[in-house]
Structure 1
């Protein structure tokens, strides 16, 4: 049986000019009705005195920079700058330490900085509200080439400058940037010990770094070696792998060439007919670095690869079998296979260098494959890591014919001297090769670039200082397995990057940085470094600064008594080293300074994905070397910012968004002034994505979400004016079922958010808050408030003794508490202590299962497990009877009129009162 029931629940007939149209029942209906009640009160003051309407001075407007102005007032009023110091004075048992990876002090902040610093601040504020004493010391990375170059460019200097002048300019530039970035971070509401922030250029920081360097040196974990490193001709310095970016669109000039065979192994007399043995034999080789051919010292092969001799153009060429399909294209003619053989047959073969005609050997090597090229690899020990290992194994000379600018040195010969890699070096080499060149063509592939200059790097052998990662790697991987990584899928990436790291070059050939405190013997080149020399240099730096390394004569840096202790001759026998530390060694030792009072261990490191091979790793390696443990218990990784279409941000493309424009509005007027809260909400909502999208549409959406949060808090706050917990709270036993259910929802909401905070899933957290506002807060709480507004008289103060007065405070507090870590402008709302309660009874199931959809028209079918989105209504059967049979509910427009007091369409006459309001007025004002 199906009974269609008309429910008088607040809707008038749609044809009535005063009617509310019958939309689906949602949270916005209740908020709108509250507004209408307030409007009606202003227009019709006859019954306003008897209503308990919301009352608050909290403004909602966000237009015309209002959000920014409000945030500035709040920051000033609530003393954000002193909050960090205040919490340090509190007696708290637990401590939480987040170690700040120092941003680079080379320019203005971008949205990537915002993601990083805001996520850190959300963590710290959550821990602060959890009762922890937080330790967060911000820092800056202040050395390195980008700062050096920008400082010189900003001064407009063209002529060569002395190291002291360069360092002075670079220091002033870094100090200026630090002040600017610090001010911006504070405006973003970032809590921290800003007065004591660390900088890698600070003297005491540098002194500590010298001690770490020496201890690692004494343990054999730092050594000097002549070996190939990534070299940047544009920067004129060595680079670590972490300082490389790979350009997938790089185009190299690839070359197929021949190396003439000088001696044919006896094995070939068995493989090839005698009539062919008198013909010229050539090794067929492919390379993408023609400029390295002058430094060739060997050709490598693989014993596991099958090779062949082919006859073409009356010459015999040797290559791997897998290369045969490409031979016609390279040689420009047909060929004939004479024989096939395994790579072992090369063992006694000798070939001529095609330029110098020097006789050189072939060696087996594991890095040779047939997947690309001819199966024969040109080997220049000075210009390749695998090549260098072959040279060490077979005691080959390591010839580097290039200078620091990538140009050939005079010893390369008159035809090559002065020619530069990437400019004219390849052309000069091709001229010398002459007839040995078979084919030249462009080859597009991924190639390493200098992260600073965005120009190609080369591999060149030079004498550098290295950290022995091979010794540290296994212990580091073992320690890393006990570190919690968020998100968990990122852990394998860090492990693989650490496992694949072969070495870490920590020396750089620049001026702006901490000098590597080593002296070199003028004759032997042997380095001189002792504990006494390090301690003396440290004492000089404390008194005169690190510039003393360049400013003072060697006699003051290496005094006579230190040399006598070691029978090391006179100071004039030595020269000062010209290398500085890699900036990753600077920042990688920050744990030894910042975490000294925390047993050299932080609870959390939080940085971008690129730090897996950089700061996360360098901090781990130096900590393993010094303390044999990880400097962090947990790692959180965030993504990189892109535009709304997923493209990388670029000034040339015009898709860069400045965080200052988000807060203050852009000068061109295209970006409104959103204030800090929108920036923070965006960072929380998207920061942990691999790609962090940002754009006008996304920011506008974040602004709307912030507005809804503020509106909900304002709504709750307005119904708590003059509220006193000690006087107005109702005992749990007197609560109505819907109030108990609301407490349960609050409990579940708070528990879920705690889980999300603990697992750093902030994007999910913002989604949960938004959902909670749009459903639970609006439907259950607003329904109870609406009923009470209409029924209860403010003058009698009855409203505070109703059951929902016990539900409102925790609703307001929990929502505010969990949003406050992100949206700081909510601080000007009244803070209340929580009463987190949940119920475990059939009531929860009853309320959840009894929810149904209410529609404005007769549905074609009834959905069994539907969910109501807003309020509970009283249902009156049309004939006054009751029925135990199943029935379906629909809402139809009311035939009655809006009540002049409560605005529900239940009055019998226009501008009249409904029965309920008549009863209230009669009871409360007799």
Structure 2
């Protein structure tokens, strides 16, 4: 069919594709909107927003959770730029720690015989390789950052700053060494902080009831008919700690009763636990009642060591919720046990080595060398049964701590470790937290509770790959040398030769001159990786200096697991240094699959961000826009889901947005750029401008509240409903068939051209109320940035080509607001309409460039 007039139609012409070539986009456009854009905006002035990167661990490829985190940060940065402000975002990496050390040791036949300096060299190479891969992946997410100046915790200057924070804490009396129980990982052979634990609720232990014979009845002798075969009955889920028993704790406010068992004789149990215990043991209750205070006069014998005589001690933590009301106490393997025994001058005994095996000090030869969590448990139970001390044993499923790196159970074991005294600074930390905005607010309770319950922080680790604790030990006495002078000398030397040198050369090289009259040796402990990353604020503090009253960073964005990790360690180390680390904490949830399950390789539900962007195993490449729209559409304050169906919806959303953009570009292809007067616009055009204004206002509000999902949904709804399904359909006739330069067609093009507010000048009627006028006067110099406009004035524009009028309320005052075209010319550098001509820079940009040279 012939269409003789087709050539007279003005159909859209655009090279903008509905389905882009992702490889071509990455080459042609990615550098412009990431690296180049970041460098350009940083030329303007000091940043008004400092976003501090919680360093990801450099031990593998970035996963979908990393993509959520990095893209969320980028959304904040780009919105800040749209508001006319500048940003600072310098990426960092956490490069020390056990997982990297273990990866470096993989493939070695004998890791234990490998010198620390070789382990460190391998670990450094592994971390550097992982860091470069993660950097490339982050760029693949279209994240804008100062990639050229990124930092890592293994940089020499970073390590030196970290040690200076340590020294500050030492000078304030916050650092000390003590022999006490700590969380210990036999699988890693190192102490752990509580933040390095994860709890499994399906752990199975062997629970035992054990009797300890009374050797000295004390005041119990006055009780009529008191049995002479009387024993104390305890219950525990850690039978391997029984060889280290020193005390049995009781509650002096309890009443205790005597029960009898045909096999085990007379046993003492708390009155409140009778029902559970008697049924389990088929025991008979007697009439003998014993006040708890009276029990404190007795002593008992350890079933393994008949010559011993141990006391009963009062303890408020003894409850009637479980057990027998008498608590087996091994001060070398329990926090409360330790504190109770220290208060009463009782020695600490911990016959377990670094790998969780019984040592020669255990006292029984057939226990020596056995792992306490495996064969050791069985051997202890066997020995109890041989001595007729085992009353009952049974499997017990309960919550138990695991090493979050090796995924294996930990123990509590007394060793000599270095600690930071949190009790002295936690009130100051909590006070600083009162002034921090936390989104969502529930995170405040979580973070505060972790800090409130902490008394100390075990900061020493028995690893080679990390920052060495700057301590020397006396060769003969093992007493530590950690004075301000000694630490300063070690730090100054490390500044010159680096931390690797600590594991090389001679001890004397690290001894300050005033201490060289005695023999000292280096300590081999390293600092906890949470101390490592927790001092990263010092790097930002140096790069973007601020006074100590101003938070080092304006914003941090990390996952909710960092309440017990980086958020907390940053706050504690900064507080100890009289610094506030952040002004706002934004927390996001974890990424789950479409069924709400945690992603796992064993389940096969892991989705790689690389596969989403570039395609994988038959799945087509969706591009980074789909990944970013998924992030923007999530309610990130909760756990979020992702899967093929969800990604399909996101891909459709991107396609609709691109369709809209293609229509706009195609119909502006022949436009001369001259705006049509507002009075000459059709009513439908004016309505479209009103809808656009409403969208901008709502998006600005939602961005300010970090509700990015509302922004994404608003834009998608506006694109589909307001534009594609209505306005575009209405104006197609004018665009395609009207004369090219007709007012009608150019009016439609004018509206299509207006998604840039910098082309606007805002007039605000002078407010009548004094308090409103004072508010505007206070913000006078910042109003243009707040409105994202080129000019804000209280003088009406003269004969504008178009005008948008609005009435709003503020503090009870009615204000007239008019939006008209900006006066002046567009500056080719900052795009604000304040330049004297089209080819000249504005005065501000001229000054900036002159000062740079």
User: How far apart, CA to CA, are the structure 1 residues paired with 2:429 and 2:540?
Assistant: 21
The Cα shift of 1:583 comes to 0.6
Residue of structure 2 equivalent to 1:809 = 753
User: How far apart, CA to CA, are the structure 2 residues paired with 1:739 and 1:700?
Assistant: 33
Identify if the C-alpha distance between structure 1 residues 342 and 127 changes in structure 2 by more than 3 Å, giving closer, same or farther. Answer: farther
Query: Counterpart of 1:662 in 2: which secondary structure?
Result: helix
The Cα shift of 1:768 comes to 1.7
User: How far apart, CA to CA, are the structure 2 residues paired with 1:49 and 1:489?
Assistant: 63
User: How far apart, CA to CA, are the structure 1 residues paired with 2:803 and 2:721?
Assistant: 19
The Cα shift of 1:641 comes to 1.4
The Cα shift of 1:838 comes to 6.2
| Pairing 1:432–2:383 present | yes
Q: Which of the residues 705, 708, 717 maps onto 2:653?
A: 705
Residue of structure 1 equivalent to 2:256 = 307
Deviation sequence 1:739-782 (CA, Å, 0-9, x none): 33322222221111112212212222222221222222234521
User: How far apart, CA to CA, are the structure 1 residues paired with 2:107 and 2:261?
Assistant: 61
RMSD over aligned Cα atoms:
2.3
Q: Which of the residues 519, 528, 532 maps onto 1:586?
A: 532
Q: Which of the residues 124, 139, 144 maps onto 1:171?
A: 124
Q: Which of the residues 432, 443, 446 maps onto 1:493?
A: 446
User: How far apart, CA to CA, are the structure 1 residues paired with 2:541 and 2:146?
Assistant: 14
Identify if the C-alpha distance between structure 1 residues 124 and 734 changes in structure 2 by more than 3 Å, giving closer, same or farther. Answer: same
Residue of structure 1 equivalent to 2:840 = none
Query: Counterpart of 2:716 in 1: which secondary structure?
Result: helix
Identify if the C-alpha distance between structure 1 residues 723 and 531 changes in structure 2 by more than 3 Å, giving closer, same or farther. Answer: farther
Point out 4+ residue stretches in structure 1 off by more than 6 angstroms. 831-836
Residue of structure 1 equivalent to 2:711 = 765
Q: Which of the residues 163, 166, 169 maps onto 1:210?
A: 163
Deviation sequence 1:841-893 (CA, Å, 0-9, x none): 9xxxxxxxxxxxxxxxxxxxxxxxxxxxxxxxxxxxxxxxxxxxxxxxxxxxx
Deviation sequence 1:171-221 (CA, Å, 0-9, x none): 111111111111111122111111111111111111111111111011011
The Cα shift of 1:265 comes to 4.1
| Pairing 1:422–2:367 present | no
The Cα shift of 1:517 comes to 0.9
Q: Which of the residues 99, 102, 120 maps onto 2:73?
A: 120
| Pairing 1:672–2:616 present | no
Which has the higher mean CA deviation after the structures are superposed, 747-756 or 321-330? Answer: 321-330
2:735·2:745 contact (CA, 8 Å) conserved in 1? no
Identify if the C-alpha distance between structure 1 residues 731 and 780 changes in structure 2 by more than 3 Å, giving closer, same or farther. Answer: farther
Identify if the C-alpha distance between structure 1 residues 516 and 73 changes in structure 2 by more than 3 Å, giving closer, same or farther. Answer: same
Deviation sequence 1:391-444 (CA, Å, 0-9, x none): 111111101101101111111131221111122111221222221111111111
The Cα shift of 1:649 comes to 1.0
1:115·1:687 contact (CA, 8 Å) conserved in 2? no
User: How far apart, CA to CA, are the structure 2 residues paired with 1:305 and 1:217?
Assistant: 44
Query: Counterpart of 2:352 in 1: which secondary structure?
Result: coil
Residue of structure 2 equivalent to 1:102 = 55
Q: Which of the residues 22, 35, 39 maps onto 1:81?
A: 35
Q: Which of the residues 553, 561, 565 maps onto 1:610?
A: 561
Q: Which of the residues 390, 402, 405 maps onto 2:355?
A: 405
Identify if the C-alpha distance between structure 1 residues 710 and 156 changes in structure 2 by more than 3 Å, giving closer, same or farther. Answer: farther
Q: Please say which structure displays the higher CA radius of gyration.
A: 1
| Pairing 1:562–2:514 present | yes
Q: Which of the residues 595, 598, 619 maps onto 2:545?
A: 598
1:743·1:836 contact (CA, 8 Å) conserved in 2? no
User: How far apart, CA to CA, are the structure 1 residues paired with 2:155 and 2:635?
Assistant: 31
2:219·2:298 contact (CA, 8 Å) conserved in 1? no
Identify if the C-alpha distance between structure 1 residues 838 and 138 changes in structure 2 by more than 3 Å, giving closer, same or farther. Answer: farther
Q: Which of the residues 193, 197, 213 maps onto 1:244?
A: 197
2:227·2:266 contact (CA, 8 Å) conserved in 1? no
The Cα shift of 1:580 comes to 0.4
| Pairing 1:337–2:286 present | yes
Residue of structure 2 equivalent to 1:656 = 606
Deviation sequence 1:364-410 (CA, Å, 0-9, x none): 11211111111111111011111111011111110110110111111
Residue of structure 2 equivalent to 1:366 = 316
Identify if the C-alpha distance between structure 1 residues 445 and 164 changes in structure 2 by more than 3 Å, giving closer, same or farther. Answer: same
User: How far apart, CA to CA, are the structure 2 residues paired with 1:494 and 1:751?
Assistant: 34
User: How far apart, CA to CA, are the structure 1 residues paired with 2:361 and 2:445?
Assistant: 47
The Cα shift of 1:114 comes to 0.6
The Cα shift of 1:789 comes to 3.2
User: How far apart, CA to CA, are the structure 1 residues paired with 2:22 and 2:715?
Assistant: 21
The Cα shift of 1:712 comes to 1.3
User: How far apart, CA to CA, are the structure 2 residues paired with 1:328 and 1:544?
Assistant: 68
Residue of structure 2 equivalent to 1:59 = 17
Identify if the C-alpha distance between structure 1 residues 838 and 325 changes in structure 2 by more than 3 Å, giving closer, same or farther. Answer: farther
Q: Which of the residues 155, 159, 184 maps onto 2:137?
A: 184
User: How far apart, CA to CA, are the structure 2 residues paired with 1:765 and 1:386?
Assistant: 51
Residue of structure 2 equivalent to 1:48 = 6
Residue of structure 2 equivalent to 1:9 = none
User: How far apart, CA to CA, are the structure 1 residues paired with 2:668 and 2:109?
Assistant: 63
User: How far apart, CA to CA, are the structure 2 residues paired with 1:118 and 1:359?
Assistant: 64
1:265·1:349 contact (CA, 8 Å) conserved in 2? yes
Identify if the C-alpha distance between structure 1 residues 833 and 73 changes in structure 2 by more than 3 Å, giving closer, same or farther. Answer: farther
1:88·1:134 contact (CA, 8 Å) conserved in 2? yes
Deviation sequence 1:335-356 (CA, Å, 0-9, x none): 1232344422322121111211
Q: Which of the residues 333, 348, 360 maps onto 2:297?
A: 348
Q: Which of the residues 620, 628, 646 maps onto 2:571?
A: 620
The Cα shift of 1:56 comes to 1.5
The Cα shift of 1:489 comes to 2.2
Query: Counterpart of 2:413 in 1: which secondary structure?
Result: strand
Within-5 A mapping of 1:844-863: none
User: How far apart, CA to CA, are the structure 1 residues paired with 2:453 and 2:683?
Assistant: 61
Q: Which of the residues 69, 76, 91 maps onto 2:24?
A: 69
The Cα shift of 1:624 comes to 0.4
Which has the higher mean CA deviation after the structures are superposed, 698-707 or 448-457? Answer: 698-707
The Cα shift of 1:687 comes to 6.2
Residue of structure 2 equivalent to 1:395 = 345
The Cα shift of 1:577 comes to 0.4
Deviation sequence 1:690-727 (CA, Å, 0-9, x none): 222111111111111111111112222222223344x2
2:171·2:484 contact (CA, 8 Å) conserved in 1? no
Identify if the C-alpha distance between structure 1 residues 460 and 155 changes in structure 2 by more than 3 Å, giving closer, same or farther. Answer: closer
User: How far apart, CA to CA, are the structure 2 residues paired with 1:135 and 1:683?
Assistant: 22
Identify if the C-alpha distance between structure 1 residues 769 and 297 changes in structure 2 by more than 3 Å, giving closer, same or farther. Answer: same
Query: Counterpart of 1:382 in 2: which secondary structure?
Result: coil
The Cα shift of 1:541 comes to 2.3
The Cα shift of 1:157 comes to 6.1
Q: TM-score, normalization: structure 2? A: 0.85
The Cα shift of 1:293 comes to 0.4
Identify if the C-alpha distance between structure 1 residues 155 and 256 changes in structure 2 by more than 3 Å, giving closer, same or farther. Answer: closer
The Cα shift of 1:79 comes to 6.0
Query: Counterpart of 2:754 in 1: which secondary structure?
Result: helix
| Pairing 1:747–2:693 present | yes
The Cα shift of 1:74 comes to 1.6
User: How far apart, CA to CA, are the structure 1 residues paired with 2:693 and 2:805?
Assistant: 5
Deviation sequence 1:594-645 (CA, Å, 0-9, x none): 2223326100011000100110000000110002x42100000011111111
Within-5 A mapping of 1:151-162: 151-153=104-106, 160-162=113-115
1:591·1:619 contact (CA, 8 Å) conserved in 2? yes
2:101·2:123 contact (CA, 8 Å) conserved in 1? yes
The structure richer in strand per residue is 2
User: How far apart, CA to CA, are the structure 1 residues paired with 2:439 and 2:302?
Assistant: 54
Q: Which of the residues 208, 212, 229 maps onto 1:259?
A: 212
